[in-house]
Amino acid sequence: MAFPTETVYGLGANARSTAAVESIFAAKGRPSDNPLIVHIADMKQLDGLVAEVNETARALMEAYWPGPLTLVLPAAPGAVSPRVTAGLPTVAVRMPAHDVALRLIAAAGCPVAAPSANRSGRPSPTLAQHVGEDLAGVIDGIVDGGPTGVGVESTVVEAGADGTVTVLRPGGITAEQLARVAPGGVTLDPALREAGGAQDIPAPKSPGMKYTHYAPRGTLRIVRGAAAEAVAARIAAELEAAARRGEVTGVLAFDEHLPYFRADCVLSLGSIHALETAAHRLYAALRRFDERGVTYMLAEACPEDGLGAAVMNRLLKAAGHDVIDV
């Protein structure tokens, strides 16, 4: 059953049932070594799931649950199907800040394993309609809660007993927000910092980070640089050259620069000064390019502070790390 959360739509199943969890992997076409996040509706559900919650993890939960934060914790043996954790000794847990999701989980009466409700490799769904596009006919149903809020997935972290927090996947809770409750500081999993992305590292801590994700069907390239004028000029020039080659062109950029661009499909990420709008619109924009048959698209990079870190992480993955630096 697909359901809305504050980040993206999830595809939920009883985390204790191996058969139910296997049907999620089958519906999504998801590699079985990529573990799932377990969703809970109240703190009582946490007790049976995890072996231990250190002080840092506790502080993070108090600050940001319910909300777009997933904690990787030592699993209580046998608490969920081994298919949920992909054999890891840890389990990823979150409590979503969405009334429909919370009520659904409470009604289910069990921890709910739920990845994003897209076909593996497609942009995550931010509308019930996106879930239908990918999964109609192969899942039991969709609870339509309208558009999701944040628009990118939860932040996945590991919390050390020493007050350190390691970000395994940037998301709806920003590094700045984490830092407020992490006396030991916030660091990025090294797998996230490599130029080629996590797929070049044998074992990123969050296994999902090694897969190509969110990829639109055409070629997507990112244009990045310190000077906005130079970035805009390069995007405009690339679009012109692509049009001359006969490509169906697309551009994904901020409102401040949109007037510079001529393309078959021009999509706005909102203001460069309001990156929560970019996060909210990103996945729907990638899907829109596909609908419009765009074969060559350029995206304007954004600053990596606040939600910009998650936006750039998803954009880089969507583009297969194809970046034009100007």
**Interface contacts to ligand TXA, rule CB under 6 A:** 5, 7-8, 10, 34-37, 68, 70, 72, 85, 88, 90-92, 96, 114-116, 153-154, 156, 168-169, 205-209
Beta-strand relationship, 37-39 and 90-94: parallel
As a whole number of Å, the end-to-end CA separation of the chain is: 45
The residue to which tokens 């946490």 are assigned: 46
- Residue 5 interacting entry, from Mg ion, ligand TXA, none, C-beta within 5 to 8 Å by type: ligand TXA
Nearest to Mg ion of 29, 259 (CB atom) = 29
Nearest distance, CB of residue 206 and Mg ion, angstroms: 11
92-131: contacts with Mg ion (CB under 5 A) = 116
Nearest distance, CB of residue 222 and ligand TXA, angstroms: 21
List residues bridging with 323 in a β-sheet: 222
**Which residue blocks in 161-227 are alpha helix, DSSP H?**
175-179, 190-193
On whether the CB atoms of residues 138 and 27 are closer than 8 A, the answer is yes
Nearest to ligand TXA of 7, 277 (CB atom) = 7
Nearest to ligand TXA of 206, 277 (CB atom) = 206
- Residue 88 interacting entry, from ligand TXA, Mg ion, none, C-beta within 5 to 8 Å by type: ligand TXA
Residue nearest to Mg ion (CB): 116
How many whole angstroms separate alpha carbon 258 and alpha carbon 261? Answer: 6
Report which DSSP code applies to 123: P
Nearest to ligand TXA of 116, 249 (CB atom) = 116
Nearest distance, CB of residue 152 and ligand TXA, angstroms: 8
Nearest to Mg ion of 242, 319 (CB atom) = 319
On whether the CB atoms of residues 223 and 231 are closer than 8 A, the answer is yes
Residue nearest to ligand TXA (CB): 208
On whether the CB atoms of residues 251 and 297 are closer than 8 A, the answer is yes
- Residue 56 interacting entry, from Mg ion, ligand TXA, none, C-beta within 5 to 8 Å by type: none
115 phi/psi in degrees, rounded to 5: -85, 175
Nearest distance, CB of residue 34 and ligand TXA, angstroms: 5
Residue 147, preceding bond cis, omega within 30 degrees? no
- Residue 156 interacting entry, from ligand TXA, Mg ion, none, C-beta within 5 to 8 Å by type: ligand TXA
- Residue 57 interacting entry, from ligand TXA, Mg ion, none, C-beta within 5 to 8 Å by type: none
Question: Which residues, other chains included, contact 41 with Cβ-Cβ below 8 Å and sequence gap of 6+?
Answer: 95, 102, 103, 105, 106
Nearest distance, CB of residue 35 and Mg ion, angstroms: 11
Nearest to Mg ion of 207, 225 (CB atom) = 207
Helices (H) and strands (E) in the chain, counts: 11, 15
On whether the CB atoms of residues 298 and 221 are closer than 8 A, the answer is yes
Nearest to Mg ion of 209, 223 (CB atom) = 209
Beta-strand relationship, 112-113 and 13-14: antiparallel
| List of residues contacting Mg ion (CB under 5 A) | 116
